[in-house]
Amino acid sequence: MKKCRICGKKAIIYMPHHRLALCREHFVEWFEKYTERTIKEFKMFTKKDKVLVAISGGKDSLALWHVLRKLGYEADGLYINLGIGEYSEKSKEKVLKFAEKINGKAIIVDLKEELAGIPELVKITSREACSVCGLVKRYNFNKVAKEHGYNVIATGHNLDDEASALLANVLNWNEKYLGRKYPVLEEEAGFVRKVKPFCKFTEKETALYALLNGIDFIEEECPFSEDATSVFYKKILNEIEERSPGTKLRFYLDYLRKIYPKFRKEEEKKELQPCKVCGEPTVGEICPVCRLREKVEASSG
């Protein structure tokens, strides 16, 4: 039985990649300090910034909202109802209950009212469900943040998310992605700054923090995520991690230190302009979401 490195009590978690065993009290304390340290290390935001946390009802985003408010940051939540039947209704319920519990402000956007639910969008486009979902979420995060005066968007992406996405894009040598794979994407040409304060935490660590703090999150996975390639890459990385603890963190951090700067220098900057329909930044004359809206209108007409 491992003992807490700080107080000697029975440890509830051992993190081999940090060579650290901690009890309940000291794990929560460590998690919050490590979040603060990550925010400062990457210069994500300060107490003067207005932060909008993209919340899904899951463990990572609700834990992030909880931590930021506990650390004294001005942070509100944004929930996008994706219209995925019972799953979305359950998620929304968790978000509203949590907002009430922490006396926080939650902005709710209903995708069905704005555009159409994800199931409908999947039917009228050649994109995979996760791709469509990511597109409309990013669009709404940025749009809502600007409309409500937030200058930072924070997401709950954890180390498992970041490392698996990195692996997928290294295997496919997606240079465009690799030039933007960083915990902070600065504001530019109509885009609000985006940050990932949990980028160094494993999924297990964020889940434990949420449980220890009594955060009631949705445990079911999105119905569309079953065939997602990210699940496959996470599984591979977990098997490697089992054999060689610390691989995930080392893979991600070494990329940030050694490889990202090279890809960043070579990244081709594309000229952005306001979409002629909605005004959001885009490469072409009309942004992808407005083109999607045209398809929705054509299919319903």
Q: What is the mean pLDDT of residues 275-282?
A: 94
**For position 57, what pLDDT does the model report?**
94
Q: What phi, psi does 221 have (nearest 5°)?
A: -85, 155
The pTM is what? 0.93
Q: How many residues does the chain have?
A: 301
Q: Binding residue per annotation — 133?
A: no
| Mean pLDDT lowest among 60-74, 99-113, 212-226 | 212-226
Q: Binding residue per annotation — 130?
A: no
Q: Binding residue per annotation — 222?
A: no
CA distance 158 to 205: 9
**For position 96, what pLDDT does the model report?**
96
Is pLDDT of 227 > 70? no
Kind of pairing, strands 74-81 and 50-55? Answer: parallel
Q: Binding residue per annotation — 145?
A: no
**For position 256, what pLDDT does the model report?**
95
CA distance 135 to 288: 8
Q: Binding residue per annotation — 17?
A: no
Of 264, 296, 9, the residue nearest 124 (C-alpha): 296
In contact, 81 and 183? CB cutoff 8 Å? no
Q: Binding residue per annotation — 55?
A: yes
In contact, 37 and 183? CB cutoff 8 Å? no
* pLDDT, tens digit, 9 for 90 and up, residues 131-147: 899 999 999 999 999 99
* pLDDT, tens digit, 9 for 90 and up, residues 84-128: 999 999 999 999 999 999 999 999 999 999 899 999 999 988 788
Q: Binding residue per annotation — 164?
A: no
Is pLDDT of 292 > 80? yes
**Radius of gyration of the chain from its Cα atoms, rounded to whole angstroms:** 20
Q: Which residue ranges form the domains of the chain, and what is each CATH number?
A: 34-215+226-269 (3.40.50.620), 270-301 (no CATH)
In contact, 215 and 104? CB cutoff 8 Å? no
Q: Binding residue per annotation — 287?
A: yes
Q: Binding residue per annotation — 56?
A: yes
In contact, 76 and 153? CB cutoff 8 Å? no
Q: Binding residue per annotation — 88?
A: no
Q: Binding residue per annotation — 290?
A: yes
